Chain A
Amino acid sequence: MTEIPEAFSFSHTKQPSGGVHDGVVTDVLCPFCGCLCDDIKVTVTAGTITGVENACTLGAQKFLADTGRLPKPIRRDEDGWHEISYDEAIEYCVEILKNANRPLLYGWSSSLTEAQAIGVHIAELIGGVIDSTSTVCHGPSILAIQEVGHPGCTLGQVKNRADVIVYWGANPTDAHPRHMSRYSTYVDAYFMHNSFRDRKIIVVDVRRTATADIADEFLQITPGGDYALASALRAIVRGRDDVVPAEVSGISKVQMMQVAEMLKNAKFGAVFFGLGVAMTRGKYKNVRNAIELVDELNRFTKCTITAMRGHWNVYGSNEVFTWISGYPYGIDYSRGIAYYNPGETTSADLLARREVDAAVIVGSDVGAHFPRACCEHLASIPTVLIDPYPSATTHLSTVQIPTAVNGIDAEPGTAYRMDGIPLQTRQVLPCTTHFTDYEIFSRIYARLKEEKGA
C-alpha cells in the first residue's frame, strides 16, 4: 500500500499509480464474492475493460458492467444533491464524527484490510462502534465458533482430498458459481483417482435448488428444521439412533441413517454451510450443532466445516477487527475499551433502537438490506456513504463519497478468501478520478487526530 503523506491534499488530481491503459492483466483477483477467484484474466482496451476470462457471470459483470459510478462526492441540502470536493466531503465526515455520542462505522466488506484497520483506529479515537456486514450474514457462525471452536481447513485441502461434500443451507450454483468447479464437486483432486465420479455430494436445503439437482443425496428439510436435523444426525453418528423419531424436520430416519453412514465412511468430509443455517431460526445454535456434528464425525474420519462467506472481503474484516480489538465485529469503543455483544452492539440493533447519532456506511447497501426502522433512523441522522456507486443507501445519506473500486482501479492491497487465506488484489485500470477508501480513511483519521489533539 502506498504510504499517505501527512500533507496529502485531496484538492490535487490523483496521480495514476498502476493498472494498464491497453493490454491484458492476468491472475487478477475477482472483487465480487468470498471465493476470491485469483485466476481472472482481464483485457483492457483504451482504458476500458473489454474482456474477462475465467470469471463466472457475477464476477464478469463486476468488471464489465462497471458503469454508473458517482463521478464526485455529493452532498444533499434543501435544494437536492450538489457536487462537492473530496476535501469538503471529508471535512463534513470529520465534523459529524468528532463530537458524536454514538457514532457507527458500518460496512467494510468491500474494503481492503488496510482500510479496515484504519476504520478500527477511527472507531477507537471517536468512541464509536465499528461493525461489518458479517452482522447480517455469518456473524452467528462466528458466535458458534467462539463457543465450540472450528474444525476447518483451506479450500485447497477440500479440493485435493474431500470425497464427501455437504452443502447445507447454501446454493453455490447461484451465489458462489465457481465454488464447485474450483474447490469441490467438479475439480480434479490430487489425492483421488477419479475424483469427479468418486465424490459424493449431499445437499440440505428447504427447497430444490440448482445445487440440489446435482446432489447424490438431497435432504429437503422443513424451514427452521436445521437444528433438529443436526441433533438427530449427531445421535445417529454416535450410535444412539434408538432415540431418534421416525421423521425429523421432514427427513425420514432411513435417509438420515444413510447420510450418517455416507459421512462416517468418507475418507475426508467437507461441510459447507450458508445463511440457510446461520440466519434462520436458532442462528448460531444451528451452526454450533453443525460444528458439533462435524466434531462427532471426527471420531470416525476426517471432516471439516467452512462457512460460505458471501461479501468479498468480509472474512478480512473479521480478521482485522480481531487483531486490533480482540473481537470480530460489532465492537463498541464508547468507553475507550473494546466491548462486543452481538444483539447489543451490532448495527441493526443500534439503528433499530435509534441509539446512533452519526453514521458512516462503507461499501454496503443498508438501504436495501436492513429493516425499515433502521433505514428510517439512518435517514434522520447525519450519514455519510462511502461507496463508488449510488445505491438505496444514497437516499438515506447526507453525503456520499465515491471511491476507486478495490480490485479494479484501486491500488493493490489484501483481501481474505472465505477459508481465511489472505490474497493480494491487482490493479487493472489506472485511476485519476477517484481516491481509494484507504486514502479517504487515512485522511479522515489524520484530520480527526488533529481535531482531538491525539
Chain B
Amino acid sequence: MMRVTLTMKPRSNPFLPIEAEQIIPENFIGSRQVMVYEGNKEHSLLNICVIRRDGNVNTPENVSLILRGDWSRVKRVGEYMSSGTIVVEGDIGMHCGNFMRAGKIEIRGNADAWLGREMRGGVIVCHGDAGDYCGSGYRGEKRGMRGGSIEVMGNVGEFAAEYLTGGSVAVHGNAGCFAGVEMRGGYLTIDGDAILPAANMVAGECVVKGRVLEMVPTFERVGEENGMIVYHGDIANRGKGRLIVRSTSRTE
C-alpha cells in the first residue's frame, strides 16, 4: 500500500476555486508532476498543498490518497478515477468523482454539487450532506450516472440523480425537489422526505421511505408491496418506471 497525504496550505484567497482533475491515485505513482488550476492560473500541486508519501507501489489500486485541510473549493477531485481510494477528511468541492469508473471515494464531511456526475462505476460514500445534482448528468446530457454506487448519509440538494441511467444512489436523509427527475434506469432510494420525486421518469426504480411532500400527478397507482404504494410512470412521458412510496400528500 502507498498512502499519499495531501495537506492543503493556507491560501491568500481561500475563495478562489481550484480545478484538480489530476488528483487521482494513478498520478501519484512515480515522479509525475501533478498540475492544478487556481482561478485562471496553472500551478504545480506543490504550490497549494504539502505532499507526503508513505510506502511505494507500482499499481494504482494500492494507492490511497488522503486529503487533509480545506478542500471545499477544490473541484473535480477523482475525475475519471479508475482504481485506488481517495479519502477526504473534511468537505470536498464540486464535481468530485466526475466520470469515475472504479475505485472508492470516501468523504468524511460534505460534498458540494455534482458529486459523482456521470459516474460509470466505483463507489462514493459521503458521510455528510451532498449538494445539488448528486449523481446527475452534465447540462443537456441525455444520460447521467450509468454505473457504480453513491451513498449519502445526510441530505442531498435538488435534482439528485437527474437522468440516472444505471447504478444506485442511496440517500439516508432528505432530498430536495426533483430527485430522480428524467430517470432512465438504475435505483434511487431516499430514506427521508422528497418533493416531486422521479418526475418525467422513463425507467428505473425510485423508492421514497419518508414522506413525499408533493407528488407529480401523472403516476398510476398499480398496487402495494411490503406496505408501500407502487406507482408506474411518468405517464406524461410514456414512462415505464417504478415509483414506490410509503406515504404521499396525493389524494387519489
Give the distance to chain A from B202, nearest Cβ to Cβ, in Å.
12
**B interface, over-half SS:** loop
Could you list 11 further interchain pairs (A-B, Cβ under 8 angstroms) beyond the known A102-B17, A285-B178, A334-B39? A100-B39, A101-B39, A102-B16, A102-B40, A230-B236, A231-B218, A231-B234, A235-B218, A240-B235, A292-B237, A334-B37
A281 and B177 contact, Cβ closer than 8 Å, known pairs A143-B139, A245-B251, A341-B138: yes
Contacts of B114 in A (CB 8 A): 344
Evaluate contact between B40 and A335: CB separation under 8 angstroms.
yes
Give the distance to chain A from B5, nearest Cβ to Cβ, in Å.
27
A357 and B39 contact, Cβ closer than 8 Å, known pairs A243-B218, A289-B200, A344-B94: yes
Nearest-CB residue, chain A, relative to B178: A285
Chain A, interface size: which category?
Answer: 35 or more
Evaluate contact between A340 and B139: CB separation under 8 angstroms.
yes
Complex: A353 Cα to B234 Cα, angstroms: 36
Evaluate contact between B39 and A231: CB separation under 8 angstroms.
no
Complex: A343 Cα to B113 Cα, angstroms: 9
Give per-residue flags for A230-258: 1 if the beta carbon is below 8 A from chain B beta carbons, else 0. Answer: 11101100101001111010000000000
Give per-residue flags for B116-141: 1 if the beta carbon is below 8 A from chain A beta carbons, else 0. Answer: 00000000000000001100001110
Give the distance to chain A from B171, nearest Cβ to Cβ, in Å.
19
Interface residues of B in 207-228 (CB under 8 A from A): 214, 216-220
Residue B19 CB within 8 A of the other chain: yes
Give the distance to chain A from B215, nearest Cβ to Cβ, in Å.
8
Complex: A354 Cα to B139 Cα, angstroms: 23
B-side residues, CB < 8 A to A, are: 13, 15-17, 19, 37-41, 94, 113-114, 132-133, 138-140, 177-178, 181, 196, 199-200, 214, 216-220, 233-238, 250-252
Evaluate contact between B17 and A355: CB separation under 8 angstroms.
yes
A101 and B196 contact, Cβ closer than 8 Å, known pairs A235-B236, A334-B40: no
Give the distance to chain B from A435, nearest Cβ to Cβ, in Å.
28
Complex: A100 Cα to B19 Cα, angstroms: 17
Give the distance to chain B from A145, nearest Cβ to Cβ, in Å.
9
Interface residues of A in 198-247 (CB under 8 A from B): 227-228, 230-232, 234-235, 238, 240, 243-246
**A interface, over-half SS:** loop
Evaluate contact between B177 and A282: CB separation under 8 angstroms.
yes
Contacts of A230 in B (CB 8 A): 236
Give per-residue flags for A336-375: 1 if the beta carbon is below 8 A from chain B beta carbons, else 0. Answer: 0000111110000000011101000000000000000000
Evaluate contact between A248 and B217: CB separation under 8 angstroms.
yes
The 8 Å CB contact of A101, one of B13, B113, B140, is B13
Nearest-CB residue, chain B, relative to A242: B220
A-B contact pairs, 13 of them (CB 8 A): A127-B39, A128-B40, A228-B217, A232-B217, A232-B236, A234-B218, A240-B218, A245-B251, A288-B200, A292-B200, A334-B37, A334-B39, A357-B13
Q: Which of A228, A231, A288 has the most CB of B within 10 A?
A: A231
Evaluate contact between A244 and B217: CB separation under 8 angstroms.
yes
Evaluate contact between B252 and A245: CB separation under 8 angstroms.
yes
Nearest-CB residue, chain B, relative to A293: B236
Residue A2 CB within 8 A of the other chain: no
Q: Which of B39, B114, B132 has the most CB of A within 10 A?
A: B39
The 8 Å CB contact of A231, one of B38, B94, B113, B217, is B217
Nearest-CB residue, chain B, relative to A126: B40
Complex: A101 Cα to B37 Cα, angstroms: 10
The 8 Å CB contact of B236, one of A100, A234, A282, is A234
Complex: A246 Cα to B250 Cα, angstroms: 11
Evaluate contact between A146 and B139: CB separation under 8 angstroms.
yes
Give the distance to chain A from B130, nearest Cβ to Cβ, in Å.
14
Nearest-CB residue, chain A, relative to B14: A354
Evaluate contact between B40 and A227: CB separation under 8 angstroms.
no
Contacts of B138 in A (CB 8 A): 341
Nearest-CB residue, chain B, relative to A234: B236
Complex: A354 Cα to B11 Cα, angstroms: 14
Give the distance to chain A from B234, nearest Cβ to Cβ, in Å.
7
Nearest-CB residue, chain A, relative to B215: A228
Nearest-CB residue, chain B, relative to A253: B217
Complex: A282 Cα to B200 Cα, angstroms: 13
Evaluate contact between B40 and A127: CB separation under 8 angstroms.
yes
Contacts of B252 in A (CB 8 A): 245
Give per-residue flags for A97-137: 1 if the beta carbon is below 8 A from chain B beta carbons, else 0. Answer: 00011100000000000000000000000111000000000
Residue A147 CB within 8 A of the other chain: yes
Give the distance to chain B from A142, nearest Cβ to Cβ, in Å.
10
Give the distance to chain A from B7, nearest Cβ to Cβ, in Å.
22
Give the distance to chain B from A298, nearest Cβ to Cβ, in Å.
15
Complex: A109 Cα to B199 Cα, angstroms: 34
Contacts of B177 in A (CB 8 A): 281-282
Nearest-CB residue, chain B, relative to A240: B235
Contacts of B196 in A (CB 8 A): 227-228, 282
Evaluate contact between B19 and A335: CB separation under 8 angstroms.
yes
Evaluate contact between A243 and B219: CB separation under 8 angstroms.
yes
Evaluate contact between B37 and A282: CB separation under 8 angstroms.
no
Evaluate contact between A335 and B37: CB separation under 8 angstroms.
yes
